[in-house]
Amino acid sequence: MTRLTKLVLLPFAAATLVPAIAAAEVSQPQEIIHRPLTAPEGQAEARGTLSFGITPDATATFLDITGGYGITNQFEIRAGYGLTLDPFEAKGALGAALGVSLTDTGNFAIAGRAGLAYDLASEALAPFEAGLDIRFKLNEQVAIYSLAPHLSIALEETGDARPISAFIPVSLGFQATPQIFAGVSTSIATLNISDSATSFIFADRTPLGVSLFFSPSNTIDLGASVGWADIVDSADVLSIALSAALYL
């Protein structure tokens, strides 16, 4: 546990040791609620996320490293690699994604997203995922989101099935101060398109996510989140994630 604690603290300690980064020239606002859904032209992002999958019987630890770059103000590319730290497995998922800003009127914004990953451990393609990032600001502090993915298409057969599912995620964001952003998220439904299953919130399961971000400037985000696939019937099965992002 001590070793994991040190791993968790590393990205946060590094961020506090480089105050000069806060003066870097990036074109996004400090407030997360006001940022464009895709990276501005010429802006790069580096993000590390340490997450823990917790069940009554075991805890698994994962590390995801991602990067992004704004080709134009409307078009961005992203790539990432995820591996398991405990139990350790260096072979993980290598992925890439595209994002396109479709509209941004200030209060209402939409960006299209599509991504694909290859799992080096299983030597198989992960499902193709796509959807829209949608944000509607109720005011300067509160916004409603529905974030991708909304569609998952299996590219490899599992038995005789190749599942295709659609999702209806929704979240509420609150910009408490210029530095602090909090969010609550859930999924209203998972819909069967082919070889999968349909489930609805409250009736079948009740997913819940809670997140908190601290942005000391517009170049650094530090985040923490807790999520449950079913807070009602499986509250002891959850995930915890800590992240640090740097924008250049």
Three-state secondary structure string covering 45-62: EEEEEEEEEECCCCEEEE
Could you tell me if residue 157 is inside a domain? yes
Number of domains in the chain: 1
Question: How do beta strands 128-137 and 208-217 pair?
Answer: unpaired
Task: Give me the CATH number covering residue 96.
Answer: 2.40.160.40
pLDDT tens-digit readout, 194-203: 999 999 999 9
Determine the residue type at 205: R
Model confidence at 25: pLDDT above 90: no
Could you tell me if residue 6 is inside a domain? yes
Could you tell me if residue 156 is inside a domain? yes
Could you tell me if residue 23 is inside a domain? no
- Between 7-16, 156-165, 172-181, the lowest mean confidence (pLDDT) is in 7-16
Contact of 97 with 117, CB cutoff 8 Å: no
In the block, tokens 């009740």 appear at: 206
Strand partners, 184: 172, 210
Nearest to 190 by CA among 162, 227, 152: 152
Domain containing residue 72: 2-18+30-247
Model confidence at 10: pLDDT above 80: no
**pLDDT bucket at 6, cuts 50 / 70 / 90:** very low
Cα–Cα distance list, 83 to 49, 95, 184, 215 (Å): 11, 12, 27, 26
Model confidence at 75: pLDDT above 60: yes
Could you tell me if residue 25 is inside a domain? no
Could you tell me if residue 39 is inside a domain? yes
Could you tell me if residue 24 is inside a domain? no
**Measured between alpha carbons, how far is 30 from 173 in angstroms, rounded to an integer?**
15
Could you tell me if residue 209 is inside a domain? yes
Give the mean model confidence (pLDDT) for residues 121-145.
Answer: 97
Going by C-beta distance under 8 Å and a sequence separation of 6 or more, which residues neighbour residue 232?
A: 205, 206
Contact of 4 with 236, CB cutoff 8 Å: no
